Chains A and B, each alone.
Chain A
């Protein structure tokens, strides 16, 4: 492929980002992109200070972030607390699989976001409805991947444990869970992403606080700078949580080199 490289990857990346900012500044300053449709860097900065200091949509930025993160964590943790054991059971026992799979097959094709109206009808616009939808969203990937992880367990590990006379709980703790761990974490990552998307959608449909509500209010006020601030923090929080999960994954599986 390209034989000579005059610039390193990072240099080009930095140049691209700076170039994009410059282009953004020029296009908005000269009015090529109208202010009603997109915001200039300066307006975004002003919006950021406004929401951080005075607040916007009834709360300050950190309160919105806290609210969103809290809901995501609640739904996500509840989902994996049920989903991972269920996946383990379905992977291990054919009976459990035969019994649970039909229910799963019926519910799986329904996208998580499609549960939002139902959650609102049942639980209203408060936190409970969001936690329910996030639960549904995070549940499916955690079950499926845990199940896959158990099915992918090396038979000789299972046989060795049986031969050494491992008791049921020892077996679950020492063989089943660690063996399925890589797949479980894949599931958790997917669950977490689904949780974020679902939360933002849920808050956009209706909420009192939260990043989705910031987007909603900014959209109604036709305030492009605040929309951008909201989007940036949706991205930042999603990225931060994914990163955190990655760090946990690394620490909990020290035997994996990469």
Chain B
């Protein structure tokens, strides 16, 4: 397409300028004294606060301990969503009656934002590990199910017919034909699940948790410590990036092995 040409030098110059604008405006406003530093700390103030949080407990724990408890919940909720969503999706892709029974219920529940499960999560499972886990599950479940289902639905009919001709049982068809054939779709779904699950975790921890990064941020908010809140945002963003990179790697590896 006919876009304005750009040399590598110009590109780096503009990109650096972009970074500089963000941090420059931020620092300038923070230093100008228009906004009290309690409401807008300087960028280095946030970094200092972050380092401080690694040593000094805030809201009960240090920031690493909060991270560990967040990640633990996350893995549990995401793991459950994958462990239930993927097999159910495959089964729905194979058994028409199951599809017909589950789909209307699933469609009815899907429009409810995962975060709206917070009251029931708290009521049923409390604020420890159970409540937040339910919300992560609700966020991560739909893409896991939908992609496994689509994967199973779009398997080459020839493969299924061949397996049927050779007398494979339903079980063997699902495990040995549908599952391998829909791996790319499943992995793509899990990547979406992972992202949504992480988002839901943050929401859950803001409301129904007594530890974790979200909880740290709420406590920071309550004591009007903007630097703590921002440190939490950075931690959440960083873990989000790590999760995404890991899953992208996994996806690439799997696709490469399958010769795509």
Contacts and interface: CB of A to CB of B under 8 A. Distances in A.
Contact of A5 (B6, B96, B101): B96
B128 to A, nearest CB: 16
B232 A95 contact: no
Contacts of B1: 151, 153, 155, 158
A117 B218 contact: yes
Contacts of B17: 99
Interface string A200-243: 11001100000010011011001010010011101110110010
A17 B229 contact: no
B237 interface: yes
A111 interface: yes
A16 B104 contact: yes
Given A12-B97, A17-B104, A110-B237, A238 B217 contact: no
Given A103-B22, A200-B113, A234-B113, A20 B105 contact: yes
A258 B120 CA distance: 39
A121 interface: yes
B21 A204 contact: no
Most buried by A among B101, B124, B238: B101
B6 A200 contact: no
Interface string B120-135: 1011100000000000
A120 interface: yes
Contact residues on B (Cβ < 8 Å of other chain), bracket: 35 or more
Contacts of B230: 118
Contact of A197 (B114, B198, B224, B237): B114
A102 interface: yes
Given A16-B100, A201-B207, A231-B112, A118 B6 contact: no
Contacts of A239: 111
Given A12-B97, A201-B207, 11 more contacts: A13-B103, A16-B100, A95-B10, A99-B14, A103-B21, A109-B240, A110-B233, A110-B236, A110-B237, A204-B115, A231-B112
Interface of B: 1-6, 10-11, 14-19, 21-22, 39, 94-97, 100-101, 103-105, 108-109, 111-120, 122-124, 160, 198-199, 202-203, 206-207, 214, 217-218, 220-221, 224, 226, 229-230, 232-234, 236-238, 240-241, 244
